[in-house]
Amino acid sequence: MAIGLFVLAILIQLAVILAIFLMSLSRVTGSIIAIVTVVVTAFISPWSLILGVPIALLCLVLLITPIRQALITKPVYKTLGGAMPSMSDTEREALDAGTSWWEKELFMGAPDWNTFAEYPYPKLSAEEQSFIDNEVEQLCAMIDEWQIQHEDKDLSPETWQFIKDNGFLGLIIPKEFGGLEFSSYAQSLVMSKIASRSPTAAVSCMVPNSLGPGELLMHYGTDEQKQRWLPGLASGEEIPCFGLTGPEAGSDAGAIPDTGVVCYGNHEGEQVLGLRMNFSKRWITLAPIATVVGLAFKMYDPEGLLGDADKTDYGITCALVPASHEGVITGPRHNPGGSPFMNGTVDGTDVFIPLDYIIGGVENAGRGWRMLMECLGVGRGISLPALSTSASEMTYLSVGAFAKVREQFKISVGKFEGVQDATSRMASQTYMLEAFRHLVTCGLNQGGTPSVMTAMAKYYATETMREVVNDGMDVLGGRGIQMGPRNFLSTPYQAIPVSVTVEGANI
């Protein structure tokens, strides 16, 4: 009889512990229930305290904060902390960079919907609408993506000249420097429209307005640098590229081996203080045709020539260098997934540049990663989401029409349940992307640099586009895999790996 009661008491204790875990009860509630169970089962069989006492002691430890922190929290934190690599200054700057918008309230679980409802719906100005109705339409009419992809491997000279002459490379540049100074919403719609006709042209226009020196100069450049470069960037006389990634550094910018060492050297016949640079950049869009190169590198001053003998490592710094500068080598071209937009290498060995090539001057030495996160992060929330929205909308429209006219077994394939499952997903996800575009550009139009929101925008937009295009390919079947000028989905499908990889790999 005593043995039976003992077994029953133990089983009750174990059952209660299991129930606490399965029901995910809070620490306090679970501990109190466990202690009460120990007391109750002790009346059934005193021998149950063999298991009950350790359970009760553990619960007391969990309930009493100082004891819990001393015996559990701190030892576990110390163990796990030692297993993780320490945070570099670059990583800390990345976390601290940028601002937040309404998404902060959402992530905190306390969104103010009244505030959200008061945000202005993004709209185009008359000038922006006219640009889309005229210049963008004219550009689209000039483009034959099949010929670009499979014959010319580049935009035609006439197309390039039209892009330059009509300000497509200066959408973000203020009007005082000759740019168009369009809103984030307008930039998004312009890129989407171009991408609906030619992803190659869209990427070519996208990069100077996103991952380019223009944004950095506008926020951090000296007056002299702005006057020197922004008018040319706006008019298309200057073609920019930005060199960040390299053979050993993709998403981990802190791992870039490129260096700039402070020293004296000769520049335009004069002995000046500058940087002796060594760099090897890869996968740089527009590099083969760039006239000005933005470079991210690690800056060192081992001799204390800048005046601070105790500071030798300044960290990641950004500089703007003419592509024609002695020692700078751009090219050869890469072949990014078969997409023929200009993409290539930037190299330099023992290249000497004056200190005033640093964006913002010497005062901004070491602030490169923060500058990139705050400024280029804005473009990341516009360009790739715009291309993703365009690809998804074109896929939905074209595949939906195909499903209507294509018949198998004497019935439109659009009436098959499996096809309807795919097209319904495509419709809902495409609608979500368009709503997404309005939300993100609304936030960007409020000012600030919401780096977290734009990073998530890039990730979710490109991942959703991947799902939509894949569904579209499933519906098209053999029609989607036969290459030719009439294949309306092969180009977006081919561009998926590029979209999910660039400007921060999704994985």
Q: Tens digit of pLDDT for each residue in 4-36?
A: 888 888 899 899 999 988 998 888 999 999 999
Identify whether the C-beta of residue 261 lies closer than 8 Å to the C-beta of residue 300: yes
CA distances from 394 to 189, 255, 260, 438, 491 (A): 14, 39, 46, 18, 11
The answer on pLDDT for 478 being more than 70 is yes
Which residues on neighbouring strands pair with residue 273, listed in sequence order?
264
The answer on pLDDT for 91 being more than 70 is no
Residue 431: both structure tokens together: 């609608």
The answer on pLDDT for 88 being more than 70 is no
Pick from 89-98, 389-398, 419-428: least confident: 89-98
Identify whether the C-beta of residue 282 lies closer than 8 Å to the C-beta of residue 334: yes
pLDDT at 255: 81
pLDDT at 448: 75
pTM: 0.83
Q: Is 390 helix (H, G, I), strand (E, B) or coil?
A: helix
Task: In whole angstroms, give the CA distance from residue 113 to residue 134.
Answer: 38
Average pLDDT of the chain is 91
**At CA 142, angle to CA 137 and CA 145, rounded to 5?**
105
Pick from 210-219, 231-240, 358-367, 401-410: least confident: 210-219
Q: Tens digit of pLDDT for each residue in 214-261?
A: 889 998 999 999 999 999 999 999 999 999 988 887 777 778 899 999
Give 126-209's CATH code, choosing from 3.40.50.1100, 1.10.540.10, 3.40.1160.10, 1.10.3080.10: 1.10.540.10
Q: Tens digit of pLDDT for each residue in 304-333?
A: 999 888 889 998 999 999 999 999 999 889
The answer on pLDDT for 51 being more than 90 is no
pLDDT at 401: 95
CATH of domain 240-378: 2.40.110.10
Identify the active-site residue in 135, 181, 215, 503: 503
Report the 3 state secondary structure along 48-71: HHHHHHHHHHHHHHHHCHHHHHHH
The answer on pLDDT for 463 being more than 80 is yes
Average pLDDT, integer, range 264-290? 94
The answer on pLDDT for 97 being more than 80 is no
pLDDT at 90: 63
503 is catalytic: yes
Superfamily designation of domain 381-501: Butyryl-CoA Dehydrogenase, subunit A, domain 3 (1.20.140.10)
Residue 253: both structure tokens together: 């910018």
3-state helix, strand, coil in the chain (%, to 5): 60, 15, 25
